[in-house]
Chains A and B, each alone.
Chain A
């Protein structure tokens, strides 16, 4: 499926139409790739036709993608020369939406001017862990992304060798072009895409990587790929998502972890201007035991209104009776006291020894200070928020977060559903996790039938 084959819902704002279109195209390509895995071919339209749409749509999609080349989930080369690179990790200001695709582009020998970067879907089977944390995005992705780019490049070189009946060793690549110097022939990646798509995918471990000395892109300053959207104020962040008929909600959490909302002045709140509904959210799981994949829904009170402001104003009038009998007793004062007590004790264990510490202190001037820092979250400027679009049989969620891993489905059921093995609406909602401070990506439950089975 190509962008041209997608019929957008005319009732959606333009940017949502674009997102929907992007998702349709990505889903088609990804499904094609899952088939590719089995056959070992980069694939063309024929493969795609097996997994999407009835009759005429199928044929149209087949014609449209047969000229698009996707060697792996990171690279897509279209017949018009456009190179789409997928950024897998959340962009939270560290620049990975630009730098990770640059790694692919370097090994691909792509012309950066032809590159369009898109945020990838969240899919552990395709991309592995998709998180931002510990400055690990670049080191952990360096090798896989180089190989992703080099694999695609190798296939484009093979395509040219096959087309011109010349040995691959006589070919060179630069700026999205394969050259045969001996015969003065050249072809753009776009021109080679259709042939490359029919070739076997080489083993990523065996592809030749460029030596550092021949890097053209890495080490150069490349302006951030989202900069234009940012300076134009285009919708880019989690909080910018808008869906048809959207209402705005606040959620009032318990004052202590593990406390439960028993009752609230809900009737009074519902009567306030702009308020559409207010209700108590029943907790599930055990919020005291932190588990990244855990089935935790905190108890609290939700207020739904026709604007964020109306919801916030109503929240000021909210009175909740909490049951704190099962709540955590942890507190900041308690944590400080505990830290002081531990620090006052002699070291329980020497972890390492080296140099002459006492001598160094005795020899020079010493400065003493004690720094403490209170317990805070990342304190980012964008407030915590989440947009959910319930469509009857599915729910899509946009979130701004560092962790993009979809939680394990098995662990995401409420107690009632765990017994029956089914999944109620709230379990389905909890099962979806989507990301990125800047995000156009989102997950969907239930997954689209043509997504790879391994992603579920």
Chain B
């Protein structure tokens, strides 16, 4: 039995789930948190990005058992259903970033972590940091714009989203 702390709640994962199952599949199939996306499954696309103690990780590469006792945040955990969106989420809507939208949960999780670390990133810092997240539609220029937008929003509120 695995006990996982996801979005501030404790989830017990049954014995029918192999503890070595990648966190991605435990989130999607066992816990029904399907916001985290499966793209490549081999750590190449970052569609599956979640936060482990605030740090972006590819959940397809992390066995669920190694996430026990750590703080897991998924896209669903950024702002509760119906609650106000975070600055990054708002900026994503304002800049109309998504096209097909499939990679965007991963992009938003990575951008959120970037801004927590680097509140006012340069274009170069954004490009370097976000390079791990692949977008099949090529929304990169708007992603960059949205990150600047979110940075400005966060600066106004003193970092609180």
Interface residues of A (CB under 8 A from B): 13, 91-95, 221, 223-224, 226-228, 230-237, 239-240, 242, 248, 273-274, 306-310, 312, 379-383, 437-438
Contacts and interface: CB of A to CB of B under 8 A. Distances in A.
23 contacts: A92-B100, A93-B137, A221-B96, A223-B93, A227-B93, A227-B101, A230-B104, A231-B92, A231-B93, A231-B98, A231-B104, A232-B76, A232-B78, A233-B33, A233-B76, A233-B105, A237-B101, A273-B18, A309-B18, A309-B25, A310-B21, A382-B37, A437-B102
Contacts of A236: 101
Given A231-B89, A381-B39, A309 B100 contact: no
A241 to B, nearest CB: 8
Interface centre among B35, B41, B45, by most chain A C-beta atoms within 10 angstroms, is: B35
Contacts of B135: 381
The 5 lowest CB-CB distance pairs between A and B, nearest first, are A233-B35, A93-B100, A233-B75, A93-B99, A309-B25
Q: What range describes how many residues of B lie at the interface?
A: 35 or more
Contacts of B137: 93
A197 B69 CA distance: 59
B47 A381 contact: yes
A235 B34 contact: yes
Contacts of A13: 32
Given A233-B36, A309-B21, A224 B98 contact: yes
Contacts of A221: 96
Interface centre among A239, A248, A310, A382, by most chain B C-beta atoms within 10 angstroms, is: A382
B28 interface: yes
A336 to B, nearest CB: 26
B93 A307 contact: no
Contacts of A223: 93-94, 96
Given A232-B35, A307-B17, A227 B45 contact: no
B67 interface: no
Given A235-B35, A309-B29, 15 more contacts: A93-B101, A221-B96, A226-B98, A227-B93, A227-B98, A230-B92, A230-B101, A231-B98, A233-B33, A233-B34, A235-B34, A239-B34, A274-B16, A307-B30, A381-B135
A426 to B, nearest CB: 25
Contacts of A308: 25, 28-29, 38
B25 A232 contact: no
Contacts of A312: 41
Report whether over half of chain B's contact residues are helix, strand or loop; otherwise say mixed: loop
A307 B22 CA distance: 11
A142 to B, nearest CB: 21
A231 B18 contact: no
Contact of A381 (B34, B92, B103): B103
Contact of A95 (B16, B25, B99): B99
A438 B101 contact: yes
A68 B97 CA distance: 35
B90 to A, nearest CB: 8
Nearest to B45: A381
B98 A233 contact: no
Contacts of A273: 18
Contacts of B99: 93-95
Contacts of B103: 381
Given A92-B100, A306-B16, A232 B32 contact: no
Contacts of A93: 99-101, 136-137
B93 A237 contact: no
Nearest to A227: B93
Nearest to A221: B96
A227 B98 CA distance: 7
